[in-house]
Structure 1
Amino acid sequence: MSAHHLAILLLVLGNFAASVSDIAVKLLDGDVPTFQYVFIRQLFSLLLIWPLWHRQPKKERALISWKLQLLRAHLILMGSGCMVIAITHLPLATANAVFYAAPLLMLPLSVMLLKETPSLGKILASLFGFVGVLVVLRPSEFHWAALFALGTAMTLALFNITARRLPKEQTVVTTLYWTSLLSLPMSAILCAIYWQPISNTSLLLILASAGLILSYNGLAVAAYKRAPAGNIAIAENSGLVFVTLFGVVWFSEVPDWLTLVGILMIVVPLIPWRSLRFRPAAKGA
């Protein structure tokens, strides 16, 4: 198997894991307070990451740009909280379609925060994708939980944008470790305020969600190290396919044709069309 095909397979597996994590959250059905879920997930993630972080040389374990790391840690808290509410109250396909607006939101954010100048093509593609979000949400049938789905998309976009400011010498494991650790104080306070006893089943679902999200992060890093991002990013769209199918099978959430059209409008601008162009094989190949 070539490195390119292996990278796509890893990314598809990662999106499968993330989709199953969404099922775990959906099965909680709001029985666990949002901040309690976030705290337990972040604590478990930290425990899973710690051995990998500790094996690194001391220099690579250091906290660099702590203010930026603190900001990104709290973006995780806000995004995770919004995600739980959105998935609990919206169909899986609808919630995830709005989550996929994050890359589209990165365009205006990159202009405002990084002073980047996007091409006209990117601007038009992003506008097309935003119209797709409106089609999915349908203002005439607007559900309040959609605001939390948009909140997740915004925090994801900010999280990705701020990643460009991280020191290049800092490893992925170290980044994940410090963002998890720095998110604990605030999440612990909020968790204590809203704490309530939870069942063993709910605890297992939270732990499963945390492990699956970490699996996605690890598989995504492994994939993008093996192939250029533009050549394999299309595999990220497999996540929408998985959650749509899971929604139909597990929760009888059959999307109507308008929702499917909106999802398609959101996904199309995210496809790296240039990398999909046919390239003739070299002579002698």
Structure 2
Amino acid sequence: MPKITVGLAMTLLIIGNIIGVFSDALIKTLPADTAIYQFVLFRQLTAVLILLPFCLFSNKQSLLAGLKWHFIRGHIWLLGAIFMVFALGALPLATVNAIFYTAPLLMLPLAMILFQEKLTSHSIAAAVLGFIGVLIVVKPTQINWAAIAALVVALTMAVNNLLVRKLPQHHNVFQTLMLTNLVGIPAALGLALWEGKPWNWTPMLTATGSNTFILIYAGICVMVYRAIEASKISSAEYTGLLGAVVVGVLWFDEIPDLSLAIGSSLIIIPLIWLAKVEAKIKQTSKII
């Protein structure tokens, strides 16, 4: 596999975020009376089943190494999955995705605190403009419990992406994703039993489809954030917002308003600018 550069990492994140939108869209199609904890359990189970064949042919050296960090990430992932279902059931797809994309903003201070990463003036400027764009999209006066749930999802995404560095380097993407889901199954099962609703296996197909898309996104995150500092590439996560707008219009008839257009511009334009700046810096360093 070729070395992952900043440009390649940002490209992969753009593709991953667009794919991830379809995972959200499938969750949004769930009936209002769906047993949420059952559905989350189905997602955990189908993820393990999807990933297991890939793991069987992977290097099995010290598979349980770093289990503590897998355990922590797995339960953070589970928490995010639960709040994601709540948020998507109550908010328009583009709005909830706009809140999800505060994750790159949250990653910048977290990376500085946890890993002493240095923030460049370019990444700070892009993050500030992006954050303003998110506020315009969300409209702070309309924030409710569903918006807070989406913000919790963003926080879990940010923490999980940064904790990738704590995982053993010899674990490949498939092993990492399988362990993340596997360790959370007991807790998910406990929540489903506590929920006390009759078992309904109909959402299993939706869980499988949603999982397939989100696992592709998560795999890309594991790969790129392990290779590149978060502050250099996290702004690329914003591009999924455009995908959410398009899918929201075509699938759910959610017509965007002017504030969404303005906010999205403040998110995407700094992203394009940051990519050009990083490319120029890289080119200059090669010349030197």
TM-score (norm 2): 0.82
How many aligned residue pairs are there? 278
Match of 1:274 among 255, 277, 284: 277
The answer to whether the 8 Å contact 1:46/1:181 transfers is yes
Identify the residue that residue 42 of structure 1 maps to in structure 2. 44
Counterpart code for 2:160: F
Q: Which has the higher mean CA deviation after the structures are superposed, 167-176 or 143-152?
A: 167-176
Identify the residue that residue 244 of structure 1 maps to in structure 2. 245
Q: CA–CA distance in 2 between the matches of 1:125 and 1:15?
A: 18
Q: CA–CA distance in 1 between the matches of 2:17 and 2:109?
A: 26
The answer to whether the 8 Å contact 2:107/2:231 transfers is no
Q: Tell me the secondary structure at the aligned position of residue 145 of structure 1.
A: helix
The answer to whether the 8 Å contact 1:10/1:222 transfers is no
1:21 aligns with 2:30: no
Identify the residue that residue 32 of structure 1 maps to in structure 2. 34
1:238-257 per-position Cα deviation (integer Å, ceiling 9, x unaligned): 42222211111221211111
Q: Tell me the secondary structure at the aligned position of residue 170 of structure 1.
A: coil
Q: CA–CA distance in 1 between the matches of 2:130 and 2:239?
A: 17
The answer to whether the 8 Å contact 1:32/1:198 transfers is no
Superposition map of 1:95-134 within 5 A: 95-134=96-135
Taking a change above 3 Å as real, the CA distance of residues 272 and 7 of structure 1, as seen in their structure-2 partners, is closer
Q: CA–CA distance in 1 between the matches of 2:120 and 2:8?
A: 32
Superposition map of 1:23-172 within 5 A: 23-59=25-61, 62-172=63-173
Q: Tell me the secondary structure at the aligned position of residue 58 of structure 1.
A: coil
The answer to whether the 8 Å contact 1:97/1:266 transfers is no
Q: Tell me the secondary structure at the aligned position of residue 213 of structure 1.
A: helix
1:182-219 per-position Cα deviation (integer Å, ceiling 9, x unaligned): 01111110011114346565332122111222234456
Counterpart code for 1:178: L
Deviation at 1:90, TM superposition (A): 0.8
| Cα RMSD (Å) | 3.4
Deviation at 1:146, TM superposition (A): 0.6
Q: CA–CA distance in 2 between the matches of 1:185 and 1:201?
A: 21
Q: CA–CA distance in 2 between the matches of 1:196 and 1:176?
A: 28
**Structure 1 alignment gaps of length 5 or more:** 280-285
Superposition map of 1:259-270 within 5 A: 259-270=260-271
Q: CA–CA distance in 2 between the matches of 1:155 and 1:231?
A: 20
Deviation at 1:33, TM superposition (A): 2.6
The answer to whether the 8 Å contact 1:104/1:130 transfers is yes
Deviation at 1:24, TM superposition (A): 0.9
Identify the residue that residue 282 of structure 1 maps to in structure 2. none
- Amino-acid identity (%): 37
Q: CA–CA distance in 1 between the matches of 2:113 and 2:223?
A: 31
Q: Which has the higher mean CA deviation after the structures are superposed, 216-225 or 156-165?
A: 216-225
Deviation at 1:228, TM superposition (A): 12
Q: CA–CA distance in 2 between the matches of 1:141 and 1:228?
A: 34
Deviation at 1:89, TM superposition (A): 0.7
1:107-165 per-position Cα deviation (integer Å, ceiling 9, x unaligned): 11112222333234433332322222222221222232110111111000000111122
Counterpart code for 2:113: M
Identify the residue that residue 189 of structure 1 maps to in structure 2. 190
1:210 aligns with 2:215: no
Deviation at 1:224, TM superposition (A): 9.4
Q: Tell me the secondary structure at the aligned position of residue 103 of structure 1.
A: helix
1:248-270 per-position Cα deviation (integer Å, ceiling 9, x unaligned): 12212111111222223234444
Counterpart code for 1:30: A
Deviation at 1:9, TM superposition (A): 8.3
